[in-house]
Amino acid sequence: MQLHFSPSMRSITISSNNGFIDLMKIKVAARHISYRTLFHTILILAFLLPFVFILTAVVTLEGVNKCSTFGTLIGPGCLGRRLGPRLLGRVDDSGQKLVRDFYKILNEVKSGEVPAGLKLPDSFDQLVSDMKNNQYDAKTFAFLLRGMMEKFERDIRESKFAELMNKHIAASSIPKGIHCLSLRLTDEYSSNAHARKQLPPPELLPLLSDNSYHHFILSTDNILAASVVVTSTVQSSLRPEKIVFHVITDKKTYAGMHSWFALNPAYPAIVEVKGIHQFDWLTRENVPVLEAVENQNGIRNYYHGNHVAGANLSDTTPRTFASKLMARSPKYISLLNHLRIYIPELFPNLDKVVFLDDDVVIQRDLSPLWDIDLEGKVNGAVETCRGEDEWVMSKRFRNYFNFSHPLIAKNLDPNECAWAYGMNIFDLRAWRKTDIKETYHSWLRENLNSNLTMWKLGTLPPALIAFKGHVHPIDPSWHMLGLGYQNKTNIESVKKAAVIHYNGQSKPWLEIGFEHLRPFWTKFVNYSNDFVRNCHILES
């Protein structure tokens, strides 16, 4: 390292010992230099010179040793070549070139076809082993990764569809314990006079049409679910002695349902059990459309057939597939499910009733519902377009209807707010002045004639049309929905709701029910009952 002063003292040059490299040149102003300035300059040089010397030595050594300097300490080597250019304002683009080459390979692999003979590893460990043994190049390695990811995605997708199909089958089936309960109670009806006693007793028959009482209507073939609805309503009521329950079931379940409430009276409430076959008004002439729904082979195959055969699962998402499966639940062609549209004719002496689904639990006194002024409307219901939850509480007409169908597009507004079935206040006096039933039948017929292309989902879509203009919104706290859909339902909100509704596939009496939501239902099951214990309906 050498230091040279020009004769005029206007510049100072620092060069290497061999004289070939000028490391630094400092120009000095032409005017006289003060001793103070010279002192500061020499002081700075004293700090810089040792570092410049070390840097020069490192660069020289790397040229001799082929970039091995400090390689074992801080990286792969070439400290000077990595550090020097940065200090001198130059950037080594070898790393950038490597990245560019990598992206180029990825783009080629993305647009290319996975080689037909390329054997895909089954695991990451196998991939590493194959790489070591076969010395794959970067492009082959990228193809392997792409092939493995695509295979795993296909496997996951197929598993998801299988899970949804199994869940649909579970939701559509009758659990062994509930089937056992129905059979044992039916047998009891034939052998035990107490199980056949009249409901209600003859002296209480006039109360079945007394409008000073609070009349609830429940339509179901699930005895255990019916018992929970009635029990929870009575236990939550401030005046249970004013409650009258009208339980409607089908012919095959009638004996078992009657036995249950005959042997387990809901005192002091009054319970009436009737089978569909006991209503004189329910004739084929009065319900022609529903007869067609139940008996037409094409419709029955749609709801009971193989839901996967012929379906192009590659063009649908798991969520869409799940929605289609739920829309094909066999319950949607059951007369019990459509029965609510005939309430004014089935109960001609009643003025106001509350209709309940069999998958609800009552947690608060419901008598104030009879005091709600429906302002001349027929149906008091909770609207389901006011919440953020896209599964349940953000539903509008566009969620239920096919607006590409000309009749739907012509007659309905896709942004109109939907409302909930499952807990409804019906003003039967106002209802009897309308053509709601006829409108319901008319649109059911149109959908049948259009091969179910106007809507797919059960009884709510035709009801949304039939009750159009006849719905009075009630406070959402009366009816909380989605407990059969939402695994993350807010528990505090559940506790506050008057009626909680397990609408969806995950019913609380099924194994697929959500464990943290089931206790709100099971606490109203009488597990000490002999029939419940003998059928092994156990508290979970």
- Buried b / exposed e over 286-304, threshold 16 CB at 10 Å, is ebebbeebeeeeebeebbe
Measured between its terminal Cα atoms, the distance across the chain in Å is 87
Higher pLDDT, 366 or 142: 366
Q: What is the mean pLDDT of residues 464-480?
A: 96
pLDDT bucket at 75, cuts 50 / 70 / 90: very low
pLDDT in tens, 500-534: 999 988 999 998 899 999 999 999 999 999 999 99
Q: How far apart are CA 255 and CA 172, in angstroms?
A: 22
Tens digits of residue pLDDT in 245-276: 999 999 999 999 999 999 999 999 999 999 99
- The residue written with tokens 């007394």 in the block is 210
What pLDDT does residue 390 have? 67
The pLDDT score that the predictor gives to residue 449 is 83
- At 260 the pLDDT is 98
Amino acid at 533: R
Residue 331 is predicted with a pLDDT of 61
What's the longest Cα–Cα distance across the chain?
134
- What are the extents of the domains in the chain? 119-172
What pLDDT, in 10s, does the model give residues 32-43? 455 556 555 665
At position 187, the amino acid (one-letter code) is D
User: Which of 355, 516, 374, 513 is CA-nearest to residue 434?
Assistant: 374
Instruction: Say yes or no to pLDDT of 240 above 90.
Output: yes
User: Rounded to whole angstroms, what are the CA distances from 13 to 1, 7, 18, 43, 178?
Assistant: 11, 12, 14, 16, 100
* Collapsed DSSP state (helix, strand, coil) of residue 22: strand
Residues 190-232: pLDDT tens digits? Answer: 999 999 999 999 999 999 999 999 999 999 999 999 999 999 9
Are 499 and 360 in contact by the 8 Å Cβ rule? The answer is: yes
What is the pLDDT, as a whole number, of residue 52? 53
Query: For the CA atoms of 477, 483, 486, 491, what is the dihedral angle to 10 degrees?
Result: 60
- Altogether, the residues listed in the chain come to a count of 540
pLDDT band at 157; cut points 50, 70, 90: confident
High-pLDDT (> 90) share of the chain, % = 48
Q: What is the dihedral of CA 185, 187, 191, 196, to 10 degrees?
A: 40
Q: What percent of the chain has pLDDT over 70?
A: 71
| Residue of higher predicted confidence among 81 and 99 | 99
Q: Which of 296-305, 320-329, 392-401, 505-514 has the lowest mean pLDDT?
A: 296-305
d(CA 76, CA 538): 67
Residue 77 Ramachandran class (φ > 0 left, ψ -120 to 50 alpha, else beta): left
Give CA–CA dist 200/235, Å, rounded. Answer: 19
Q: What is the DSSP string of 404-471?
A: TSHHHHHH--TTSBPB-SSEEEEEHHHHTTS-HHHHHHHHHHHHHHTTS-S--SSSHHHHHHHTTT-E
**pLDDT exceeds cutoff 70 at 375:** yes
Residue in the structure block whose two tokens are 């943290």 = 516
Which residues, listed in sequence order, are joined to residue 246 by a DSSP beta bridge? 217, 272
As a three-state string, the secondary structure of 468-515 is CCCEEECCHHHEECCCCCCCCCCHHHHHHCCEEECCCCCCCCCCCCCC
